[in-house]
Amino acid sequence: MKPTVCLLIGACVLAASPEVLAGVVRIGFDELAADGVIGNATGIYSGDHYASLGVLFRTGELVAGPGGTGLFINEVNSFEVLGGPGQPAISAPNFAIPRGAGTRDLLMIFTTPVTSVSLTSDKFPETPDIIRLGALKATSTPNQFTLLGFDQKLDNAVSPPGNLLSISLNGLSFSYALFQVNTESEGFDDLTFTQVEVPEPASITIFGLSLICAMLRARRAGIQTDMDSSLLPSTSRSRRIARR
């Protein structure tokens, strides 16, 4: 295969493929049917509802585990959306909460690793209490995690930056995040996360074709060298043999 042919094949594949599967994803929950009462069926959704956007939700509670780890217990594959007049959404009309009332947390599982996650807490005026957004790493034990980093704010803030929770790890990626509450049910809005760039399969194909082309060129160069040697004058060939 000639070098020019290799280049043409690579150019054709590149022209037909997107650049990368990456980007910033923002979920405002406003396209969903919602209710103004916690627990009503209208606002309950499967935790896999946003799987196509790269995130799964699991309601539960993170409790202290062995060796400084945390165990996510009482897991439920669902979350809730509240909305309507008078609801404290940041970007009206809807916002999300863990499934059910009480001190439940919401685990986020990212199907593509992310480098940052942010959200805004609901703007309901209340007695201040701490809420957290943490980046987690799964251990070899099911539902067990270690904490990589976290941000915390007071839940009575009604405008940024006081109501903005954001976590990043200086460019390092992670696949789990937790919205954690303390003493009462809390909600959030405008979930935003940045996915790690993943090469398109076509880009991998280009690399493979380039590698094959390079191997073929090297092989052709070796064959050409042997052919050139066989065309040497007989006296020169004799001298080469004598030196061996």
Chain segment 82-117, per-residue pLDDT in tens: 987 777 777 889 999 999 878 999 999 999 999 999
Which residue do the tokens 């405002």 mark?
A: 28
The pLDDT assigned to 195 comes to 96
Percent of the chain's residues with pLDDT above 70: 72
The pLDDT assigned to 10 comes to 39
The pLDDT assigned to 197 comes to 82
The rounded mean pLDDT for the chain is: 80
Q: Reduced to 3 DSSP states, what percent helix, strand and coil does the chain have, rounded to the nearest 5?
A: 25, 40, 30
Name the residue with higher pLDDT: 84 or 220. Answer: 84
The pLDDT assigned to 200 comes to 59
The pLDDT assigned to 234 comes to 47
Name the residue with higher pLDDT: 218 or 68. Answer: 68
**167-188 mean pLDDT:** 93
Name the residue with higher pLDDT: 197 or 204. Answer: 197
**142-151 mean pLDDT:** 96
From 73-82, 186-195, 212-221, the region with the lowest mean pLDDT: 212-221
Chain segment 19-76, per-residue pLDDT in tens: 334 599 999 999 999 988 888 888 999 999 999 999 999 999 999 988 889 999 999 9
Highest mean pLDDT among 177-181, 205-209, 218-222: 177-181
Which phi and psi angles does 159 have, rounded to 5°?
Answer: -155, 160
pTM > 0.85: no
Name the residue with higher pLDDT: 202 or 220. Answer: 220
pLDDT at 232 over 50: no
For each of the domains in the chain, give its residue range(s) and CATH number, in order of start.
Answer: 3-14+200-243 (no CATH), 20-199 (2.60.120)
| Rounded CA separation 88/91 (Å) | 9
Task: Give Cβ neighbours of residue 61 (< 8 Å, ≥ 6 apart).
Answer: 72, 73, 74, 103, 104, 105
The pLDDT assigned to 160 comes to 87
